[in-house]
């Protein structure tokens, strides 16, 4: 009998130390990534809130400027109305203005006693509003240059809060002689405020500079008219900071909710407002970070699972290694019994080996077979019967038939069947065997192995189930999804994507994403895809345009990632596509409203200055010529006074059309204010600019406007020309030069073009 083999167990500390170090690194990486993502989430949301607040503030500023222009227009026309028809013309004009200018609810004119002299609301005529705060404020602090912004108030107990914009009417000696007032329409601003909300927990508000809340969307009962100017309140902190924009987080005084809020002051310097307006856009702080917390929980849970599994795996691995070592020691003592069994046993780790003598019908199991079947070696007298009883009844016939076929025909013996172990556990077994023949070709012996493949079988079943779940989620997803080959061809697309692009799945599978991508977006898409293939990035997101089957371009949001094999090689791509055409349309519409003059369709003053500053910088950087026109409609006030402001609007629109038709597409045209226009001409020197100006003047002079009565109206323009002549010049200087030339043209008889004397201007500036 072979001597007993002693196995010495030593603590395997090195693998545990390595595992602990790896888990510490992994945990630190997860924690650091979560910290960075928390910061990115905060910055991303701050930027979005600031953008939405800026959109509201810019639109509100445009409305304030439009309302101010209307008030100044009414105030300048008052003498004409009083002398012409006893303010009847003024009442009609006020109605036209309130209907034409969005955001204005009422327009009224009051005398020094507070009595309504003219109003677009006939019911207000003759009534006295001297007790109203907006009237008293102007009366007590009269200043003809100030635009007075009243705190929110109610005309009647059941009505909505409104804000009045007021201008003082000066008397012959500059004394207080009344006011002209415009009531802002809260409904108009609610529509604008609702359009920038992109999350259910989001709200925005407009407040007065004294702290009184004017509007809030979505509306909350009991908050309108609340005084926000409380100690430590967000409003107070922003006001005291003196900054135009400020972002704060914490508990909001008005709603008692913990919020992330952006506040922006609306106080255009050109309007000389006595009080500013404040725009606030806010989101619930808990909701903003909810996805981050969910991701943090998931990553923490995954880290915990990895920790437990890795520790159990290492423990099981070491335990199994010790078991293998003991089995190998035992097998060494039995190697002398049979050379074939020795060779097969040493080559099969954790596999039971059996030897069946076909002549004597003797069956021999090694120890691994007893362990595999969970049978006590001393309690078994007939191994074949023990095997028969262990195999499930429904699997036995096929296993027995395979055994007979191998013995009789010599075919490979590789059945797969299930057994019930002695402890009741169900296991899957893969059996393999070889038949040995004598010199006469008679089978005399079979040597085979049994391998427990339960885990492999379960993994295969889990893989099949996982693939089935993936395909179910893929097909039923509410957003478009596609599997895309390395060449860009659609391998598979779900129904949502087919609905987005209008193609059937069969049609898409004949196309590549390059085929339906807009050419202007393709280069960026391919560059990001290249970084995905090379491993520079794990995924990417972008907004781009697809061509729908019907030919129109649609905007989509694309998220793409790569599926790799075990070596890291990219197999194919997964893409998620959402249709954002409607959202992009709304953003383009908001940008157009912020940049375009509502009457002529040309750039407004702010947009013109932005484009002009960029063009001036480009011209100075590359040493190119740049010229500017300042032009003014001659005797425009006479046109308004004689034919009415509607005729004046028609003249302005006609001039805008002539400018677009006469000038180049690269020329920058803007309406600066009233009847004044400015034009920047890139790559145009002084001589060429003078020629263009003269051609433009002649084009306008030969143009007639047909009024509603069918009568033609002839008008002319005066133009001042200035040219960039040194790198130190700025846009304000060009404005001044062109404006001086314009003044010279008008002073010398109008309907003329005058070129700036830049040398004299520089000398006087020096």
User: Over 90: is that where the pLDDT of 327 sits?
Assistant: no
Fold of 467-582: Beta-Lactamase (3.30.450)
> CA 762, CA 766: separation in Å to the nearest integer?
6
Share in percent of the chain as helix, strand, coil (round to 5): 45, 25, 30
Q: How confident is the model over 487-527, as pLDDT tens digits?
A: 989 988 888 889 888 899 899 989 998 998 999 998 998 99
Task: Indicate the Cα dihedral angle 663, 667, 671, 677, nearest 10°.
Answer: -60
Both tokens of 338, joined, read: 């049979």
Note the pLDDT of residue 338. Answer: 56
pLDDT beyond 60 at 762: no
Which positions ≥6 away from 357 have C-beta within 8 Å? 363, 444, 445
Query: What is d(CA 354, CA 433) in angstroms, rounded to the nearest whole number?
Result: 9
Q: Is the pLDDT of residue 412 over 90?
A: no
Give the CA angle between residues 228, 275, 240 to the nearest 5°.
55
Q: Could you tell me where the beta strands, DSSP code E, fall in 494-616?
A: 539-547, 553-564, 570-579
Evaluate whether 44-288 and 467-582 have a shared fold: yes
Q: What is the C-alpha to C-alpha distance for residues 22 and 398, in angstroms, rounded to an integer?
A: 48
Q: What angle do CA 171, 175, 179 make, to 5 degrees?
A: 70
The answer for residues whose C-beta is within 8 angstroms of residue 571's C-beta and 6 or more apart is 562, 563, 564, 565
267: pLDDT strictly greater than 80: yes
User: pTM for the full model?
Assistant: 0.43
Per-residue pLDDT band for 86 (boundaries 50, 70, 90) equals low
Q: Scanning the structure block, which residue is given the tokens 């001039």?
A: 655
Q: What CA–CA distance (Å, rounded) separates 700 from 580?
A: 43
Say yes or no to pLDDT of 8 above 50: no
Strands (E), 130-257: 148-149, 164-170, 176-184, 203-208, 213-217, 245-251
pLDDT above 90: percentage of residues in the chain: 35
C-alpha distance from residue 293 to each of 202, 257, 286, 305, 546 (Å):
19, 19, 9, 18, 35
Closest by CA position to 45, among listed 284, 328, 335, 355: 284
Between CA 701 and CA 707, with CA 702 as vertex, the angle to 5 degrees is: 90
Say which CATH architecture domain 337-452 belongs to. 2-Layer Sandwich (3.30)
Q: Which of 33-42, 76-85, 198-207 has the lowest mean pLDDT?
A: 76-85
| Phi and psi at residue 445, to the nearest 5° | -160, 145
Mean pLDDT of the chain: 86
CATH of 44-288, one of 3.30.450.20, 3.10.450.350, 3.40.50.460, 1.10.10.10: 3.30.450.20
Which strands, in side-by-side order, build the sheet including 717-723? 668-673, 676-682, 626-633, 717-723, 753-755
pLDDT digits (tens, 9 = 90+) for 369-393: 888 898 888 888 888 888 888 899 9
Where does 442-575 have alpha helices with state H?
A: 454-476, 495-501, 505-508, 513-516, 519-534
**Calpha distance 434→450 (Å, rounded):** 12
Is the predicted pLDDT of residue 402 greater than 50, yes or no? yes
Report pLDDT for 610: 92
Domain limits of the chain?
44-288, 337-452, 467-582, 596-765
Q: If residue 100 lies in a helix (H) or strand (E), which one and from where to where?
A: helix 88-100
Q: What kind of fold does domain 596-765 have according to CATH?
A: Alpha-Beta Plaits (3.30.70)
């Amino acid at each position: 009998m072979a001597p007993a083999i002693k196995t010495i167990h030593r603590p395997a500390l090195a693998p545990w130390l390595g595992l602990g170090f790896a888990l510490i690194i992994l945990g630190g990486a997860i924690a650091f990534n979560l910290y960075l993502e928390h910061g990115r989430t905060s910055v991303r949301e701050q930027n979005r809130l600031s953008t939405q607040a800026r959109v509201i503030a810019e639109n509100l500023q445009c409305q304030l400027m439009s309302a101010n222009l209307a008030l100044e227009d009414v105030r300048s026309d008052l003498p004409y109305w009083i002398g012409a028809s006893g303010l009847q013309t003024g009442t009609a004009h006020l109605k036209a203005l309130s209907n034409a200018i969005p955001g204005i609810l009422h327009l009224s004119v009051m005398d020094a006693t507070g009595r309504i002299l003219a109003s677009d609301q006939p019911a207000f005529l003759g009534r006295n509003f001297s007790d109203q705060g907006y009237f008293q404020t102007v009366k007590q602090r009269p200043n003809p240059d100030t635009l007075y912004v009243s705190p929110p108030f109610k005309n009647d107990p059941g009505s909505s809060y409104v804000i009045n914009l007021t201008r003082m009417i000066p008397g012959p000696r500059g004394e207080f002689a009344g006011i002209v007032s415009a009531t802002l329409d809260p409904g108009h601003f609610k529509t604008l405020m609702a359009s920038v909300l992109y999350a259910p927990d989001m709200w925005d508000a407009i407040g007065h500079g004294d702290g009184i809340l004017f509007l809030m969307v979505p509306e909350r009962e009991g908050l309108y008219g609340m005084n926000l100017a409380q100690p430590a309140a967000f409003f107070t902190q922003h006001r005291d900071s003196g900054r135009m924009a400020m972002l704060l987080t914490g508990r909001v005084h008005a709603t008692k909710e913990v919020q992330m809020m952006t506040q922006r002051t609306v106080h255009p310097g050109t309007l000389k407002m006595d009080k500013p307006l404040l725009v606030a856009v806010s989101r619930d702080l808990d909701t903003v970070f909810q996805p981050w917390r969910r991701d943090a929980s998931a990553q923490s849970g995954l880290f915990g699972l990895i920790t437990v599994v890795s520790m159990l795996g290492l423990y099981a691995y070491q335990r199994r290694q010790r078991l293998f070592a003991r089995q190998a020691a035992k097998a060494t003592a039995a190697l002398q019994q049979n050379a074939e069994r020795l060779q097969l046993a040493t080559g099969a780790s954790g596999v039971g080996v059996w030897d069946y003598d076909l002549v004597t019908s003797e069956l021999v199991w090694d120890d691994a077979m007893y362990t595999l079947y969970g049978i006590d070696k001393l309690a078994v007298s007939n191994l074949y019967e023990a095997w028969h009883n262990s195999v499930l009844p429904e699997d036995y016939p096929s296993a027995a038939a395979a055994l007979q076929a191998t013995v009789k025909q010599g075919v490979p013996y590789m059945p797969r069947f299930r057994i019930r172990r002695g402890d009741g556990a169900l296991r899957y077994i893969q059996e393999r065997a070889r038949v040995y023949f004598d010199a006469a070709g008679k089978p005399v012996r079979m040597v085979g192995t049994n391998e427990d493949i339960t885990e492999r079988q379960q993994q295969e079943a889990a893989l099949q189930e996982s693939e089935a779940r993936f395909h179910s989620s893929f097909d039923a997803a509410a957003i478009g999804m596609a599997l895309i080959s390395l060449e860009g061809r659609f391998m598979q697309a779900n129904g949502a994507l087919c609905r987005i692009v209008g193609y059937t799945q069969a049609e898409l599978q004949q196309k590549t994403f390059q085929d339906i991508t807009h050419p202007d977006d393709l280069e960026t898409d391919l560059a990001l895809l290249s970084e995905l293939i090379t491993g520079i990035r794990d995924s990417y997101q972008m907004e781009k345009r697809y061509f729908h089957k019907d030919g129109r371009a649609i905007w989509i949001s694309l998220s793409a990632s790569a599926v790799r094999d075990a070596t890291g090689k990219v197999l194919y791509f997964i893409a998620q596509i959402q249709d954002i055409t409607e959202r992009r349309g709304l953003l383009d519409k908001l940008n157009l409203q912020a940049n375009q003059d509502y009457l002529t369709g040309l750039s407004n003053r702010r947009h013109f200055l932005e484009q002009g500053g960029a063009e001036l910088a480009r011209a100075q950087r590359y040493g190119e010529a740049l010229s500017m026109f300042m032009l003014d409609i001659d005797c425009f006030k006479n046109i308004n006074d004689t034919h009415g402001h509607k005729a004046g609007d028609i003249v302005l629109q006609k001039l805008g059309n002539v400018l677009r038709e006469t000038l180049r597409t690269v020329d920058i045209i803007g309406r600066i204010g009233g009847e004044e226009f400015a034009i920047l001409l890139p790559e145009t020197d002084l001589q060429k600019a003078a020629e263009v100006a003269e051609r433009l003047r002649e084009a306008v002079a030969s143009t007639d406007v047909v009024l509603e009565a069918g009568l033609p109206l002839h008008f002319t323009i005066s133009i001042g020309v200035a040219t960039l002549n040194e790198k130190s010049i700025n846009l304000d200087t060009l404005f001044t030069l062109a404006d001086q030339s314009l003044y010279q043209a008008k002073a010398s008889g109008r309907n003329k073009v005058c070129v700036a004397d830049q040398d004299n201007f520089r000398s006087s500036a020096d």
